[in-house]
Amino acid sequence: MSIELLVNVTPFETRIARIENGLAEEVYVERERERGLKGNIYKGRVQRVLPGIQAAFVDIGLPKAGFLYAGDITTPSMSDPSLAEAEQEDEADIHNDKGNDSRVIPPITSLIKENQEIVVQVSREPIASKGPRITRHVSLAGRYLVYLPNVDHVGIARRLEDAGERERLLGIGQRLKPAEGGLIIRTVAEGHSEDELKRDLEFLMRLWHDIEQRTRHAAPSSLIHMELNLYLRVMRDFVDDEVEKIHVDSREAYEKMKKFARRFMPDVAKKLFYYPGQRPIFDVYGVEEEINNALKKRVPLKSGGHIVIDQTEALVAIDVNSGSFVGSRNMEETGFKTNLEAINEIVHQLRLRNLGGIIVVDFIDMQDEENKTRLMEVLSEALKRDKAKTDIVHFSELGLVEMTRKRTRDSLERTLMQECKCCHGSGQTKSLTTICYELFRDIVSEARAYPCDKLLVIAHPDIIDLMVGEEHEGVERMEAFLGREITLQSDADFSPDRYEVVLL
């Protein structure tokens, strides 16, 4: 598989696309005014402790308080699910999902109290109306290691499958483990020497010492340590042996990435290339078009079928339709072939749009159990390309596949789009006829309530056109009913659902 990274940097925004076999599979966006929070470390002050939900809200100096679950306060042990998840995800955060935490956790009132000052780290970005998820399990990610200052543990990423290499790296980890704290060995450490891992750990230890020094003098509700910017973070976390080239369209960013690579990951420096072209790099690779298409609900399939994606607050619904594809034999074969084709597109869209949480896929109905089994096998195999943690929960009798995908940041849609001021997110607005009849009712109401000789109606040109066209008889009957003249005036600055009735 050919994998490249495209880095598009401007003074106001950084965008990175992961290209697999010529197709944009993942897109990351970071705006300078809206820098990501995950990985940032704060000195916070506890605002409220809520025993009923075993959680607290902590003021970390942001518009929304951080949410701290009790399981993210207690120090995990080697058998805790938080460490298992970190090793599974190969990420720089030790984070518990409330519903999956099997530990016996003390009452939160025995762990923290209101107005207490604590050091916390953001483990999940704010999503929609929710504030950031925070944890006291601070972790610092390097190139090959994750340093855990408060955990006595040595672990290794589960994606590293070779038994001999796992044993070698775990041995190195045990030898390098500092007296205070623990380590998780990352997937990219595969094949690297003990000296390389040691240098990585020494850098992380120096960084932690600096953070401790700043903590002593920091004011409550203040930032202590800011995570790397997007392009350096992606270099550290996602560049592995599979990535063949990294194209950067900014000379300044290219030089910073080159310097970072030479210091921490020399093997990656030779993969960096400066793109000096006049044509935008995202246009050259077709990424801009992919992003625009990813903001649409309907996604066509090559066979003539299509999928429809609806993102709600609680879940993502995906509907598979055969469209103009009629197959060659029968409905069962048509449905099965369309479903198989839809799987690759669904997984592609999940990654490109960064859709997470609960996902329900409504496949075309199939009766053959063998076809259903084969469909689930293909879906499971396709999801292996996805670095985000996914879990297929159920295939119902109605043809619905229920699954979950770990949500760590806002989706592409929520990052790039805003709620429509006309429809307020519903995707629909009142028809012109509906608005026209509402206007008629308001005219009658106003004319009856207040004495006047005539009325002036000011509305959008489309509404006025309707009133002098299809609905002109309605206007005439209303004038006869009220015994008053109605004058119409269009105003292009009005939205279609806005109008005014002026009494003259």
Helix H, strand E, coil C: the string for 475-497 is HHHHHHHHCCEEEEEECCCCCCC
Report the relative pairing of strands 140-141 and 145-148 from DSSP bridges: antiparallel
**H-only helix segments in 301-424:** 331-353, 369-383, 412-416
What is the per-residue pLDDT across 248-288, written as a single tens digit (0 to 9) for each? Answer: 999 999 999 999 888 777 888 999 999 998 899 999 999 99
Q: Which two tokens stand for residue 161?
A: 């499958």
Angstrom distance (rounded) from CA 33 to CA 12: 8
Please say whether the beta carbons of 83 and 155 come within 8 A.
yes
What is the per-residue pLDDT across 379-396, written as a single tens digit (0 to 9) for each? Answer: 999 998 888 888 998 888
| Nearest residue to 18 via CA among 342, 287, 346, 381 | 287
- Residue 225 backbone dihedrals phi, psi, to 5 degrees: -145, 130
Please say whether the beta carbons of 146 and 183 come within 8 A.
yes
> What would the 3-class secondary structure string for 197-219 be?
HHHHHHHHHHHHHHHHHHHHHCC
Q: In the block, which residue shows the tokens 């970072």?
A: 260
pLDDT over 90, % of the chain: 51
Which residues neighbour 119 within 8 Å (Cβ) at sequence distance 6 or greater?
Answer: 41, 42, 43, 44, 136, 138, 215, 224
Q: What is the mean pLDDT of residues 70-77?
A: 75
Predicted confidence band of residue 191 (pLDDT cuts 50, 70, 90)? confident
**Which element (helix H / strand E) includes 319?**
strand 315-321
Q: Which domains does the chain have, with CATH numbers?
A: 3-32+249-288 (no CATH), 37-228 (2.40.50.140), 296-416 (no CATH), 432-503 (3.40.1260.20)
Q: Which two tokens stand for residue 348?
A: 């592609």
Report the relative pairing of strands 55-59 and 66-69 from DSSP bridges: antiparallel
Report the chain's mean pLDDT, rounded to a whole number.
87
| Nearest residue to 204 via CA among 174, 236, 242 | 236
Q: Which two tokens stand for residue 369?
A: 């159990």
Angstrom distance (rounded) from CA 406 to CA 356: 6
Per the model's pLDDT, the better-predicted residue between 49 and 393 turns out to be 49
What's the pLDDT score for residue 76?
Answer: 59
Task: Taking the CA atoms of 121, 123, 239 and 258 in sequence, report the sign of the dihedral they define.
Answer: negative
What's the pLDDT score for residue 185?
Answer: 92
Q: What is the mean pLDDT of residues 368-386?
A: 91
What's the pLDDT score for residue 328?
Answer: 61
Taking the CA atoms of residue 208, residue 410, residue 238 and residue 150 in that order, the dihedral angle to the nearest 10 degrees is 30
Angstrom distance (rounded) from CA 413 to CA 390: 20
Angstrom distance (rounded) from CA 25 to CA 413: 15
Predicted confidence band of residue 93 (pLDDT cuts 50, 70, 90)? very low
Task: Taking the CA atoms of 177, 183, 188 and 191 in sequence, report the sign of the dihedral they define.
Answer: positive
**Which element (helix H / strand E) includes 263?**
helix 251-264
Predicted confidence band of residue 322 (pLDDT cuts 50, 70, 90)? confident
Least confident of 315-319, 327-331, 441-445, 479-483: 327-331
Angstrom distance (rounded) from CA 238 to CA 7: 13
pTM (2 decimals)?
A: 0.73
What is the per-residue pLDDT across 400-459, written as a single tens digit (0 to 9) for each? Answer: 999 999 887 788 988 888 877 777 777 788 899 999 999 999 998 988 888 888 899 999
What's the pLDDT score for residue 307?
Answer: 95
Beta strands in 189-291 (DSSP E): 222-225, 243-248, 272-274
Q: What is the mean pLDDT of residues 358-375?
A: 91
Least confident of 164-173, 258-267, 342-351, 367-376: 258-267
Q: Which two tokens stand for residue 378?
A: 């293909």
What's the pLDDT score for residue 361?
Answer: 95
Least confident of 28-37, 45-54, 75-84, 388-397: 75-84
Predicted confidence band of residue 187 (pLDDT cuts 50, 70, 90)? confident
Q: Which two tokens stand for residue 226?
A: 């800011």
Residue 75 backbone class (left: φ over 0; alpha: ψ -120 to 50; beta: rest) = beta
Task: Taking the CA atoms of 308, 310, 315 and 316 in sequence, report the sign of the dihedral they define.
Answer: positive
Using CA atoms, how far residue 476 sits from 404, 440, 458, 483, in Å, is 59, 11, 17, 10
Predicted confidence band of residue 95 (pLDDT cuts 50, 70, 90)? very low
